[in-house]
Structure 1
Amino acid sequence: MGFGLVAAAVTLIFLYRVYREPRRLSNAVWLLVALGFAGLWLLSRLRDTPIPIDLVVGFFAVLALLLTLGLPFALIANGAVMWRREGHRLANLLSLLAGLALLLLYVTTVYTIAFVRNPWVFASVVSMVLIAGYFAVLFTAFVLYSALYSRLGRRTRADAVIVLGSGLIGDRVPPLLAARLDKAAECHRRATAAGSDLVLVVSGGQGEDEDTSEADAMSAYLRRAGIPAEAILLEDKATTTDQNLRYSTDLLAAHGRHGRLLAVTNNYHVFRTAVLSRRLKLPLDVIGARTASYFMPSAFLREFVALLSEYWRTNLAVCVLLGSGAPLLALLATTNG
């Protein structure tokens, strides 16, 4: 009964926070806590059923172990696919690097437990495991809430749509960016059918390895898709998501557009864009276009790293706290010994 009450209370807090402001990163943590207590409540209810609770606990323990042990190999395999299909940039190697890091942590932990008797080495490994666990919990919360958030605000009615750039191949729109533009074109067709004069802002500057600005290439793509040129505004200076949002809203304001705004990006990028729009105090919704499944692990890792960097002080403090506990215990044990 206790777990049920706590689960209900935490769920109500989570729902209230989402109602007040769904673009908070902390909502992800509240969601994971609510799910955790709900799971404990369901587990406690098994006592009133003929199902052996030990069997259920054992099943989920084995399942969790298999998933944990298989995760590094799955990430490494995904990293190999990214290397082959998307090129050798660091951003495309995140899943490979994460898989190798996890595998190294597993091997180090097993070796230390089996063969090492030095308390300082053991304490260091414990600290690494705790810090890795912290990031694993945060990443799980981030992925779960990102999936939920992408379904919360699927409103496509707006007075203007901002299409965020994601890079070109020379002067060609790659599939990732094409998915965003197709989504924006779909929004424009729906608005036109409803009698609205929706404006599309294509946002993106020119990179060093690009033959033209993203905005020019995106505009050309939309015109080929049947969107009239007068319905397209070009913002060709932005090089980051922050600038995409700020420069585009300034451009719309200069053209007298102050109504409902909608940003279009890929589905893995929706939540971070929403968090950023909140920090910039921009009243806009975000919707996502589909992304190839093989691209998702690296993409979510990249988004996660970007969010961590924006809250680096909090994460650094938690890592110091988690990392210092085991060495302090080792120091006490050595001193008393």
Structure 2
Amino acid sequence: MASLVFAVPAGLSFLLFLSRVRRDPRRFSNAVLLGLTLVLVTVALLAQVADGSAPAPLVVAVTLTLLLLALSVLVLAFFLIANGVQMIRKEGPRPANLLSGLAGVSILGVFALALTAYHTNSAPLQRVAGAVLLVSGYVSYLFVSFLVYAFFYARLTLRQDVDYVVILGSGLIGGSRVPPLLASRLDRARAVYERQAARGTPPVLITSGGQGPDEDIPEADAMAAYLIAHGAPEGHVLREDRSRSTEENLRFSSAIMQERNPEYRFVAVTNNFHVFRAALTARRTGIDGHVIGSPTAAYFWPTATIREFTAIFLHHKKINLGVCTLLTLFSTLL
């Protein structure tokens, strides 16, 4: 009976999630609803086990899952630290490349603080530990929700032909050369072009990226040259060479498409870790289009994913910092 208290809200949450995804999949609230559904299902299962109504196989499965989750958090911490070291070796000690290592150290720090508070009688330390655990739980909930939904969104398929394929820039190396990260986006865009051209309706490729202070040419020019050198017809390649951010990539490219075809349909191409945030940016700027991803080097993915989540978290900083403050006050009062 206790499990129904959570199972019913879980079902309602999932139905609301499906409804909102159908209306517009480019919402972070969709990720939150999916995460809420998973939490409620988990609690319903735990309630069923606790009241003794669960069959033996379910009890074993839930117990093993909880043990594996606890162990996986520790494994994740050491993996992130190792990945942070690898990022520094391969990409240099820039602040963005420290994220995975810092995340791993933070997880171990939370564990150490909780254990210390548990084994002492210090009320102030226990309040601090409680606040840290509550805030960490909230952030972890959002991160897992983001991770699961971003995985889901990245696998949504194009249902119709498009007029344009916009490739988002990501910087050049040596001032003029396309790096592997950007080449992956260009190759994915060319594959979309070739697949649609085979059906008789080739889209126009738009390379989007301005010239950075350390670059000899605009990113759009280097990207266009790469596409043409790899078989894309020059007449089907346009350049947007003013943008310096994802929002400008989309906004300036939209202006080009709008001028040529007010009823345009397009898809944007970026790396898989950046797909969901790019989709959120497109929606926020009022641009209606789908975003698809290209492969990313495995070692780069953890840091990049944490960076994407951090950007989304801070974009909604008022509500997120407000919730964190309330959780801290709640822990202090208890």
Question: TM-score surpassing 0.5?
Answer: yes
The secondary structure found in structure 1 opposite 2:96 is: helix
Match of 1:150 in 2: 154
- Residue 72 of structure 2, aligned match among 67, 81, 98: 67
Match of 1:24 in 2: 27
C-alpha separation in 1, matches of 2:31 and 2:202 = 36
Change (3 A) 1:238 1:33: same
C-alpha separation in 1, matches of 2:191 and 2:262 = 20
Change (3 A) 1:322 1:175: same
Q: Over residues 122-169 of structure 1, what are the superposed CA-to-partner deviations in whole Å (9 max), with x where a residue is unaligned?
A: 212211121111111100000000001111244472100110011111
- Residue 102 of structure 1, aligned match among 103, 107, 121: 107
C-alpha displacement of 1:257: 5.6
C-alpha separation in 2, matches of 1:321 and 1:42 = 28
| Aligned AA (1:265) | T
1:167 and 2:171 correspond: yes
| Aligned AA (2:75) | G
C-alpha displacement of 1:255: 3.0
1:159–1:257 Cα contact (<8 Å) kept: no
1:153–1:285 Cα contact (<8 Å) kept: no
C-alpha separation in 2, matches of 1:306 and 1:153 = 25
Q: Over residues 188-232 of structure 1, what are the superposed CA-to-partner deviations in whole Å (9 max), with x where a residue is unaligned?
A: 112222222411111111222323221111011001111122211
Match of 2:9 in 1: 6
2:257–2:264 Cα contact (<8 Å) kept: no
- Residue 57 of structure 2, aligned match among 51, 55, 60: 51
1:156–1:262 Cα contact (<8 Å) kept: no
If the length of structure 2 is used for normalisation, what is the TM-score? 0.91
- Residue 203 of structure 1, aligned match among 186, 202, 208: 208
Q: Over residues 16-52 of structure 1, what are the superposed CA-to-partner deviations in whole Å (9 max), with x where a residue is unaligned?
A: 1111111110111111222233344556389353437
| Aligned AA (1:35) | L
C-alpha displacement of 1:328: 2.6
- Residue 135 of structure 2, aligned match among 131, 137, 156: 131
Change (3 A) 1:215 1:133: same
C-alpha separation in 1, matches of 2:178 and 2:272 = 18
Structure 1, unmatched stretches of 5+, are 330-337
Change (3 A) 1:101 1:257: same
Moved more, 284-293 or 86-95: 86-95
Q: Over residues 44-96 of structure 1, what are the superposed CA-to-partner deviations in whole Å (9 max), with x where a residue is unaligned?
A: 3893534372x444322211210122221110011112112222222222101
Structure 2, unmatched stretches of 5+, are none
2:194–2:202 Cα contact (<8 Å) kept: no
Moved more, 250-259 or 301-310: 250-259
Work out the percentage of aligned pairs sharing the same amino acid.
43
- Residue 199 of structure 2, aligned match among 182, 194, 203: 194
Match of 1:253 in 2: 258
C-alpha separation in 2, matches of 1:147 and 1:201 = 26
1:241–1:273 Cα contact (<8 Å) kept: yes
Change (3 A) 1:17 1:293: same
Change (3 A) 1:8 1:52: closer
